[in-house]
Structure 1
Amino acid sequence: MKLISALYLCLLLLGLQVQGQQQVQQVPGPEEQSQADHENLPHVKLAPSNADFAFKLYKQIRDESGNRNIFFSPLSISTAFAMLTLGARSNTLRELQKGLGFNLTQMEEQQIHEGFQRILQLLNDPHREDQLNMGNALFIDNQVELLQNFLDRVTNFYYAEPVSSNFQNLPQAIKEINTYVETKTHGKIVDLVKSLDSETVMILINYIFFRGFWERPFDSLITKDDDFFLDAKNSVKVKMMHQNDDFKVHRDEKLSCWVVEMPYKGNVTALFVLPDKDTMKQVEDALLKETVSNWLRALEEREIYLDLPKFSISGSYDVKSLFKKMGVTEVFSDQADLSGVAKVLLKVSKAIHKATVDVRENGTEAAAVTMLGIQFLSAPLTPPPRITFNSPFLMMIIDKTTDGLLFLGKIVNPTAKED
């Protein structure tokens, strides 16, 4: 059965049926009613906004990264800033909502937060086959008292863990935060915070950790050294994994790329997108939720020879800088209105994001953390095709339960280490 997620489907409108001289509203059958109810769930209605934000942010990162690897968790970043909107007011709130892609004509603020609440519940379901954990924490200086309404809502909707900290002792506070992050990401992200401004009074953290095993693992005995072409003239040696099996694939002739779906055991899947020579930018420019929707609908199971490199990459991003270029500026300025957070005047002084992924024969491990520092103001072929990911390609990790784009990346050089 093809993967057609609610993220990419429009609402079906029920028409009116004319019977004789009377116009009677058609009564939906159980299936239609069930689909309509599903489409109206807050987390389903939120999914298109989160997808729009993900691809918009990707293009901003792409424009700044040059010819380097990209890997980040759009869901982690949007969740962190969505928490902050609970305490933002006036133009600061409007800028954040617009930057995050929230459509208030289709969803009320309450529904947005209910959507994130349901995403957290589904991602942290202990009965999942894959290991997927997402959570939030607030490290709060003991000299700042949060407004009860903000604290109630951030713990209710986002299950945020309030942690009392002493930011007068910055080395100790940094150690506490880094230990928390390292523990929650199972050691994948260490030393997230290098330094903090002396005016910092609160740190907002979102973390996400994923460990999944391929439905069809690669045989490590046939992994061998091969060339990965960085460009027309340069290449590096990589450990190339091989499979000859049936996969859901799609050849997009318009964008000149192959799309291969590799599902994990459970309800998470990976999409690998391999552009033809010199068409990466064309594919990146077309990255929209509608494009991914079309790919997912067009996937067909067929036999292929698949070659995929083992790789382990990570990325660190200054989200404050990225958001400013996307038009979200006030929350970082002395004009910030976070009056719904505490009685004191606050602004976001630092926003950083770090993510890492490790792809190997048996599956994938990926983790990401978003930290906000808050301070006072001052086409089919006869033989099976061979799809060889031996040149720059894109990777998406999608949770089918929530239609969430958990991770998004571009692998330019599988052997490159983080800058």
Structure 2
Amino acid sequence: MKAIFPLFFLIAGILANRPYPPNFVNPNSIYNKCDIYESYPQDMNHPNGEGRRMPNQVLVNSNSDFAFKFFRQVSSNGGHRDSSGKKNIVFSPMCISLAFAMLALGARANTLNQILTGLDFKPSEIQEKMIHEGFHDLIYMLTNGGSGLQVEMGNCLFVQNQLHPQEQFLNELRNIYGGDIYLENFKNTAETEQHINNYIERKTHGKISKLVDGVNPVTEILLVSYIYMKAKWKKPFDPKYTEERDFYVDPYTVVKVPMMFQMGMFETGHDDERSCTILKLPYEGHAAAYFILPDKGQLERVASSLSCGALRTWKKILSQSSVNLYLPRCLASGELNLKDIMYTMGVIDVFTDRADLTGITGQPQHRLSGAIHKAMMMIDERGTEASAASSMDLVPMSMPTIVTFDSPFIVMVVDEHTNSILFMAKIINPTEK
């Protein structure tokens, strides 16, 4: 299977200049408390000719904690702009963390403290400088993952052309986060809207052609953060085995979905404490998808229990076994109101007149008017060009376990080299567009 995950994060707020190229250096190893059984050697290809230890350990720990906390929050209240709570949820915790961390470059005082605390960073464990250096290295590692896995991520500021951001902020923005900056006349709404949408369409390889639909002429800055992932299953599904089957959205709703099928050896297990089945599907490269199927009636219980502890447990109980796997083909998308979600997580001042963003322009009277997060996750059969026969495993002569994802489930995409959670989703209805 080939999975494509474009993600777009939109914030209205304040800044300015022209685009700058990114300036990355080679990073070092990352250790994550979500996986206490593995460590990685220091990178010996550093420009200085020797490995060095960077503060990525605490960074990835905090990113993981934030990802699960955000998921629990959005899963409990829906997080959608219509607040229905009954739609698919798709988001990239990495993209959200990256965008707010970049915003922290210009934040001061209580506004800065709220942003960093909201992202699960503790001042006693890591300094702000170390956070930005850690994100710098993490971006490099994720976007230079080698063959089989393509990850592209970045940020762009579209700025009212009458503003004059401070030179220090601009230097940090481009050197740490590789951010692009474009001057705009927001009063010319049609031209600005086209420029933004063209930029995102180009960065997401045509997957999203219209991110914004209307631009507020009083906007001073628009921050767009994106992540694009293209990956192939190590064991692709053969489309000839895909057939229509029932999917039980809830006790009263049944829909027909194209159900993919594959038989073979998979890492799977059952978490008795959390009442769910876990199945791990690796991609080519060093990423994997964890599919979590709650026991009947246990979806919300499982969603509320996700944590680093849960991930550690799953890595212990997963084992290779013979499986007949049924997984729905779907294209899930979601749009979240980040202002409401981050507000409940303690990031408050940045959206109010109390915001202190003096590090951006030297003047404190700036705030974000809103924050919208858009994401899309496509799950299908496509993958390597190997024949169906060569992608089937030789399995033991025993009765295989049947794992059928025919009710709401959770997906988590993890870069296992850095232990970074790239995407999370709660799929309620695979036919939802």
Question: TM (normalized to structure 2)?
Answer: 0.83
Question: Deviation per CA, 1:218-243, whole angstroms, max 9, x where unpaired?
Answer: 11111111000112232100000111
CA distance, structure 1, for counterparts of residue 370 and residue 173 of structure 2? 20
When structure 1 is superposed on structure 2, of 64-73 and 254-263 the one drifting more is 64-73
- 2:371 counterpart (351, 355, 358): 351
C-alpha distance in structure 2 between counterparts of 1:415 and 1:338, whole Å: 42
Match of 1:217 among 214, 232, 236: 236
Quote the residue 2:55 is aligned against: 42
C-alpha contact (below 8 Å) 1:393/1:410 kept by paired residues: yes
Say if 2:267 and 2:320, in contact at 8 Å, map to a contact too.
Answer: yes
Q: What is the aligned-residue identity percentage? A: 38
Q: Secondary structure at the match of 2:220?
A: strand
Tell me the residue number matched to 1:91: 110
Query: Do 1:7 and 1:403's aligned partners in 2 also have CA atoms closer than 8 Å?
Result: no
Whether 2:167 is the aligned partner of 1:148: answer yes
Task: Please show how residues 117-196 of structure 1 align to structure 2 within 5 Å.
Answer: 117-125=136-144, 127-196=146-215
For residues 353 and 140 of structure 1, the distance between their equivalents in structure 2, rounded to whole angstroms, comes to 19
- In structure 2, distance between residues paired with 1:333 and 1:46: 27
CA contact (8 A) 2:242 2:258 kept: yes
Length-normalised TM-score, structure 1: 0.85
Contact persistence 2:324–2:401 (CA under 8 A): yes
The whole-number CA distance in structure 2 between the counterparts of 1:210 and 1:95 is 30
Secondary structure of the equivalent of 2:347?
A: coil
Does 2:378 match 1:362? no
Letter in 2 for 1:58: F
| Per-residue Cα deviation, 1:99-144 (whole angstroms, up to 9, x for no partner) | 1111221111111111111111112217342111111111122101
Question: How far is the alpha carbon of 1:298 from its aligned partner?
Answer: 2.4
CA contact (8 A) 2:34 2:64 kept: no
Matched, 1:402 2:422: no
Structure 1 segments of 4 or more deviating over 3 A?
4-7, 9-12, 31-35, 37-41
Q: Residue 68 of structure 2 contacts residue 306 of structure 2 at CA under 8 Å; is this kept in 1?
A: yes
Q: CA deviation at 1:148?
A: 0.8
Task: Find the aligned partners of 1:182 and 1:122 in 2 and give their Cα distance.
Answer: 24
Structure 1 portions without partners, runs of 5+: 13-30, 365-381
Matches within 5 A, 1:384-403: 384-403=400-419
- Give the CA RMSD over aligned residues: 2.4
Counterpart residue type for residue 8 of structure 1: C
Q: Pick one of 49, 54, 72 that aligns with 1:59.
A: 72
CA distance in 2, matches of 1:288, 1:79: 20
Secondary structure in 1 aligned to 2:358? coil
Q: In 1, are the aligned partners of 2:31 and 2:40 still within 8 Å (CA)?
A: no
Give the alignment partner of residue 8 of structure 1, picking from 34, 58, 64: 34
| Gap change, CA 1:126 and 1:5, over 3 Å in 2 | closer
Cα–Cα, structure 1 residues 221 and 10, in superposed 2: closer, same or farther, change >3 Å? closer
**What's the counterpart of residue 119 of structure 2?**
100
Residue equivalent to 1:111: 130
- Residues 156-210 of structure 1 deviation map (CA, whole Å, 9 limit, x = unaligned): 1100011122223122112111111111111222321123333211111111001
Task: Report how far residue 275 of structure 1 moved.
Answer: 0.6
SS at match of 2:141: helix
* Inter-CA distance 79–342: structure 2 relative to 1 (3 Å threshold): same
Alpha-carbon distance in 2 for matches of 1:93, 1:128: 38
Q: 1:270 aligns with which of 265, 268, 289?
A: 289
Name the CA distance, whole Å, in 2 between partners of 1:116 and 1:264: 24
AA matched with 1:357: M
State the 1:389 CA deviation: 0.2
SS of residue paired to 1:347? coil
Tell me which residue corresponds to 2:395.
none
Equivalent-residue separation in structure 2 for 1:189 and 1:282 (angstroms): 33
Describe the superposition over 1:295-325 as per-residue Cα deviations: whole angstroms up to 9, x where unpaired. Answer: 1232211111110000001001111111112
Letter in 1 for 2:368: V
Pair 1:98–1:32, CA change in 2 (3 A): closer
Q: How far, CA to CA, are the matches of 1:162 and 1:140 in structure 2?
A: 7
The 1:39/1:252 distance shift into structure 2, 3 A limit, reads farther
Among 79, 91, 96, the residue aligned to 1:77: 96
Provide the C-alpha distance between the structure 2 equivalents of 1:127 and 1:407, rounded to a whole number of angstroms.
19
Q: Is contact 1:259-1:271 (8 Å) kept? A: yes
Counterpart residue type for residue 426 of structure 2: K
- Contact conserved, 1:134 with 1:206, CA < 8 A, in 2? yes
Between the two proteins, the alignment pairs up a number of residues equal to: 379
Residue pair 1:39, 1:45 contacting (<8 A) in 2 also: no
Deviation at 1:9, TM superposition (A): 3.9
Distance 1:126 1:252 in 2: 31
- Is the contact made by 2:155 and 2:223 (CA closer than 8 Å) also made in structure 1? yes
Is this contact kept in 2: 1:132–1:210, CA < 8 A? yes
Counterparts of 1:360 and 1:350, CA distance in 2? 34
* Conserved? CA contact 1:315–1:355, under 8 Å: yes
Contact kept in structure 2, 1:264 and 1:363, CA below 8 Å: no
**1:205 aligned partner, one-letter code:** V
